[in-house]
Amino acid sequence: MGIPSSVLDLEVFLAGDGAQIELRALTELTDDRKLMKIFREHAVDRKNPMKDPHCVEGHLLTGWPVERIKNDPITRRMTKNTVFGIVYGLGEDSVYPYVVAKIRSVEGPDADLKGITPERCKATHRKFFEVHTEVAAFHERMRRQAERNHYVESLFGFRREVIQEDETRSTYWGNQAVNSPVQSTAHMFVLICLALLDLYPEKYKYLNKCIMEVHDALYFRVKLRYLQEAYRQFVQLFEHDAVAHAEKEFAAYWKSCKPPREPKLRVPILAEAKAGFTMASMVDYEGESIEQFLETWRGELAKVESKSWESLMLAA
């Protein structure tokens, strides 16, 4: 028995963004060889769990085999969030509270934190800069630039003012100096996607209901019957069309840089998506059949409905 037409006409949320987009932006800005290798190998074998960027990075930072990281979700979460803390410019003394907060934001206040300690996070933080020397050099370069010029620039040439004596700023200026180029570079792909959606509405006709942007993710309302097509259009938009547009429109600027940059992105940009009838019950979606999506979503909805209102509010 097929899915009733009345159900297929219901609208679902489809949220799409770039997979590890901030780390990919950092890699593009720094030319870090080890990160470049991770993302290029993942791009050609993206379904292989042994190529998962966070597992491979965990291997580099712990020395454990990739498979052990894959089967140890606590270590994977710790290394993943430590690395994202570094992207935001956090020092080794600040990374542990950040890691705990990020894990609890996803898994709730009762998240398993066994094995995640301040000492372990500090050691992972130090190891990252030992492994990724190009990132360490980039951080130093951006802080020197902020001190000298009072601004930093993204890959696309957009500047952010960074003044050390600014008492209105709520965060440390050194963190802003290293984080702003990364965040601006990552966000530019979202802005290009929005521009292309406006320029070519027929090409992306299943993505016409773009209702909001949250943390660099674009949210769409899509009829269930068109979910697969909408997902395919988003992948085309983010992974291919936005990249091609960036390379075309910023070629002249990159050639004018000192030293000049090749007018081609070196780090593969990949898309990822979630879908669901409510925000709280969205599940990872990779273009599978409507029947498969509904089965997965029902399971997630049951988990959400079994939680207390208090635990849901704390997680939010």
SS3 1: coil
Confirm whether 169 is domain-assigned: no
φ, ψ of residue 222 in degrees (nearest 5):
-135, 140
Confirm whether 214 is domain-assigned: yes
Confirm whether 118 is domain-assigned: no
Confirm whether 88 is domain-assigned: no
Question: Cα separation of 58 and 65, whole Å?
Answer: 9
pLDDT of residue 315: 53
Instruction: Report the interhelical angle of 73-87 vs 53-62 (nearest 10°).
Output: 90
CB 85 within 8 A of CB 129: no
Residue 172 binned pLDDT confidence (cut-offs 50, 70, 90): confident
Range of the domain at 260: 1-32+182-316
- Residue 310, amino acid: E
How many structural domains comprise the chain? Answer: 1
Q: DSSP string of 78-117?
A: HHHHHHHHHHTT--TTTHHHHHHHHHHHHH-TT---TT--
For residue range 207-244, list pLDDT tens digits in order: 999 999 988 899 999 999 999 999 999 999 999 999 99
Question: Cα separation of 69 and 136, whole Å?
Answer: 24
Sign, CA dihedral 193-195-200-201, equals: positive
> Which residue reads 């370069």 in tokens?
141
Asked whether the predicted pLDDT for residue 1 surpasses 80, the reply is no
For residue range 114-132, list pLDDT tens digits in order: 889 999 999 999 999 999 9
In DSSP terms, 276 is beta-bridged to: 13
Confirm whether 132 is domain-assigned: no
Task: Tell me which DSSP letter residue 51 carries.
Answer: G
Residue 169 binned pLDDT confidence (cut-offs 50, 70, 90): low
Confirm whether 117 is domain-assigned: no
- Residue 87, amino acid: V
The whole-number average pLDDT for the span 154-166 is 89
Task: Tell me which DSSP letter residue 218 carries.
Answer: E
Confirm whether 175 is domain-assigned: no
Its pTM stands at 0.91
Confirm whether 173 is domain-assigned: no
Could you tell me where the DSSP H helices lie in the chain?
5-8, 21-30, 33-44, 53-62, 66-70, 73-87, 95-107, 118-131, 133-149, 173-199, 227-235, 242-249, 251-256, 290-306, 309-315
- Residue 255, amino acid: K
